[in-house]
Amino acid sequence: MKPDDDQALFQVLGDPETMRHYPCTFDGQRVRDWIERNMNRYRNDGFGLWAVCLKDTGEMIGDCGLTLQNIHGEILPEIGYHIRRDCQRKGYAGEAAKAVRDWTFRNTDYPAMYSCCKYTNVPSFRTAESIGMHFVREYPDEANGRSHVSAISRKDWLNELIQNMIRWAEDRLGGTEYAGWCLSFVEDALEKSNGIEIFGGDSAKESALLYADRMCQGKPERGVFVFYDRICQGPDGPVNWGHCGISLGGGRIIHAWDTVRIDDYREIEAMTALSGDHPKYLGWVAVERILKQKEND
């Protein structure tokens, strides 16, 4: 948000219908104070309520973000959202809330994220439920009369990402689209199934080096990225491009070779191709570590 967003935001927070579940409708000064408060949050906390803008025009239609709130006597990370009345019921709140959920777990260490609203504000907690949140409790509250609390844990968020990734990968079993493109296969599985972006190297080996600080040994856990050394014959001689796949648990790895296939993680070491040597198992990396890799790292 910026100070000159006040007129656009007044159309949201100054609308009695949009604010019917809140203690009051905002006047112009309250809107300006709201923007200033969130700009201070950006500086002090590193986050706050952000402007929600239409992609096509850049028009601001509301806000959505993360703030620290007193929820039943605890200071907890809470997601909030307000969308202009004529833009409601078009999926904007859910889309923005999902992005904030993903940002929170990728950029903070909070074990859970919360939503708190007046118990009569059904659209608000339905939006929270649409991004995987579950009812936690209701409690008496001076401002709301009774507050309704929903939450999602980091563990549940990760499990959802992993389930989506594995389902996407298994749907491509036997396909040849990713033949020779093992890194693209595992990255697309995570990104396309969850609508997120991750950052790694240009090859499986480069990615393995990026994640080396958290590389684990032994049988891979379900939903992790598994890495190998693999020497291939490049135009200028042998090159270690590496190899990678996704663990399905029980030692099984789904990966792109000549086709998308499933093999035991140790048996992959016995595989060979016309252009390269046998892969050599390096270890595995948890998805959460991969999600925290930044674009310029």
The CATH number covering residue 226 comes to: 3.90.1720
What is the C-alpha separation between 51 and 167, in angstroms, rounded? 33
Closest CA to 193 of 163, 168, 224: 168
Average pLDDT of the chain, as a whole number: 94
Mean pLDDT across 4-9: 97
Q: In this structure, is residue 202 part of a structural domain?
A: yes
Q: Give residue 223's pLDDT band: very low, low, confident or very high (50, 70, 90).
A: very high
The three-state secondary structure class of 249 is strand
Residue 23 amino acid letter: P
Q: In this structure, is residue 163 part of a structural domain?
A: no
Same-domain status, 38 and 150: yes
For 48-93, the pLDDT digits (tens) are 999 999 999 999 999 999 999 999 999 999 999 999 999 999 999 9
Q: In this structure, is residue 160 part of a structural domain?
A: no
The three-state secondary structure class of 44 is helix
Give the Å distances, CA to CA, from 278 to 183, 218, 241: 17, 19, 12
Q: Is the pLDDT of residue 276 over 90?
A: no
For 141-184, the pLDDT digits (tens) are 888 889 999 999 999 999 999 999 999 999 999 999 999 899 99
For 177-203, the pLDDT digits (tens) are 999 899 999 999 999 999 999 998 999
Half-sphere exposure of 74 (CA within 13 A, CB side): 9
Count Cβ atoms within 10 A of the Cβ of residue 164 and give its class: 0-12 exposed, 13-18 middle, 19 or more buried: middle
Q: In this structure, is residue 162 part of a structural domain?
A: no
Measured in whole angstroms, the distance separating CA 49 from the mean position of its chain's CA atoms is 17
Q: Is the pLDDT of residue 297 over 70?
A: no
Longest C-alpha distance within the chain, in Å? 72
Place of tokens 């601001």: 60
Q: Which domain holds residue 277?
A: 171-291
Same-domain status, 145 and 247: no
Question: What φ, ψ does residue 43 adopt, rounded to 5°?
Answer: -70, -40
Q: In this structure, is residue 159 part of a structural domain?
A: no
The CATH number covering residue 110 comes to: 3.40.630.30
- Token digits for 253? 């790895």
Query: How many separate domains does the chain show?
Result: 2
Same-domain status, 13 and 129: yes
